[in-house]
């Protein structure tokens, strides 16, 4: 029975991803973000449970990637679609959730109507990354490229910043079409880059063996408490830079 526990947790990730996708389509982006975050928690604990129970399996590996494809691949693409739609309409109340602007967007077909579909480059890049991850044996203790859950948090932080941080200048930047294009391309690049990033997998609780992980967690918590959703892009940047510095130090 215990061998099924990690897979059941993974299926909860699938469920959260499906619910998040529905809310993202309905433009309820805050609820979509909540269920993505919940799904990422399940994604962490399914691997944790598999290691504790010593029931790792090929089925679990494949199921985990399929779950990530929904929660951390499809949903961020839909959210970026909505962000592009907001930028075309010149701003959009992310709390309305009635899908109205999408209807308005496609009622007047023009060149800019195609732009929101550009957001699904994130979904395609996520699929490619997950496929590579499944056949790569060099990512047991670290990641090559940005993990899809981290990328999902980065993308979903954008509407949350719009909703919870009333900063006119920053909101204009986020809803700028060129900014969104840049974020989309950067996301696709980071997902499939050759940058080696540390994994938050603790083989023991020793500070000496896990100093970088402990420092990252502490800094992230401080940033989240003080800056709320504005902290998410900073945390992702800190994650990448600290990994690069750690790798350079260890090689030297």
User: And the tokens for 218?
Assistant: 């502490």
75 in a domain, yes or no? yes
Average pLDDT over residues 204-217: 81
Specify the pLDDT at position 68: 95
191-194 LR contacts (CB < 8 Å, sep 24+): 191/122, 191/125, 191/126, 191/128, 191/129, 191/145, 191/146, 191/148, 191/151, 192/125, 192/128, 192/129, 192/132, 192/145, 193/144, 193/145, 193/146, 194/144, 194/145
Here the CATH number for the domain that contains residue 164 is: 1.20.120.1760
pLDDT band at 109 (very low <50, low <70, confident <90, very high): very low
Does residue 165 register a pLDDT over 90? no
239 in a domain, yes or no? no
152 in a domain, yes or no? yes
205 in a domain, yes or no? no
Residue among 127, 177, 174 nearest 155 (CA)? 174
Condensed to tens digits (0 to 9), the pLDDT of residues 46-77 reads 877 777 777 777 787 889 999 999 999 999 99
230 in a domain, yes or no? no
68 three-class SS: helix
Q: Are 116 and 45 in contact (CB under 8 A)?
A: no
Specify the pLDDT at position 34: 97
- Count: domains in the chain: 1
70 in a domain, yes or no? yes
246 in a domain, yes or no? no
Q: Are 173 and 224 in contact (CB under 8 A)?
A: no
212 in a domain, yes or no? no
Please report the beta strands in the chain, taking only residues with DSSP state E, as ranges in sequence order. 142-144, 196-198
Mean pLDDT of the chain: 86
Q: Which residue has the higher pLDDT, 103 or 151?
A: 151
DSSP label of 143: E
The count of other CB atoms within 10 Å of the CB of residue 150 is: 20
Q: Which domain holds residue 126?
A: 2-91+111-130+142-196
- pTM, rounded to two decimals: 0.88
Condensed to tens digits (0 to 9), the pLDDT of residues 227-246 reads 999 999 999 999 999 999 98
Specify the pLDDT at position 103: 46
């Amino acid at each position: 029975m215990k061998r099924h526990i990690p897979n059941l947790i993974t299926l909860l990730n699938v469920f959260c991803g499906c619910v998040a996708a529905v809310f993202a389509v309905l433009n309820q982006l805050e609820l979509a973000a909540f269920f993505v975050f919940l799904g990422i928690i399940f994604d962490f604990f399914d691997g944790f449970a598999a290691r504790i129970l010593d029931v790792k399996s090929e089925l679990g590996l494949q199921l985990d990637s399929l779950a990530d494809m929904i929660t951390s691949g499809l949903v961020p693409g839909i959210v970026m679609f909505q962000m592009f739609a907001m930028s075309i309409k010149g701003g959009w109340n992310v709390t309305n959730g009635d899908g109205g602007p999408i209807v308005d967007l496609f009622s007047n077909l023009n060149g800019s109507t195609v732009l929101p579909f550009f957001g699904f480059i994130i979904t395609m890049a996520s699929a490619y990354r997950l496929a590579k991850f499944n056949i790569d044996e060099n990512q047991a203790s670290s990641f090559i490229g940005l993990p899809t859950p981290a990328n999902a948090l980065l993308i979903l932080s954008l509407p949350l910043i719009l909703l919870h941080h009333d900063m006119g200048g920053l909101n204009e930047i986020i809803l700028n079409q060129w900014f969104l294009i840049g974020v989309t391309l950067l996301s696709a690049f980071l997902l499939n880059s050759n940058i080696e990033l540390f994994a938050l997998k603790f083989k023991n609780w020793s500070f000496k063996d896990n100093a970088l992980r402990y420092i990252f967690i502490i800094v992230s918590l401080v940033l989240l408490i003080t800056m709320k959703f504005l902290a998410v892009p900073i945390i992702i940047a800190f994650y990448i830079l600290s990994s690069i510095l750690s790798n350079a130090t260890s090689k030297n």
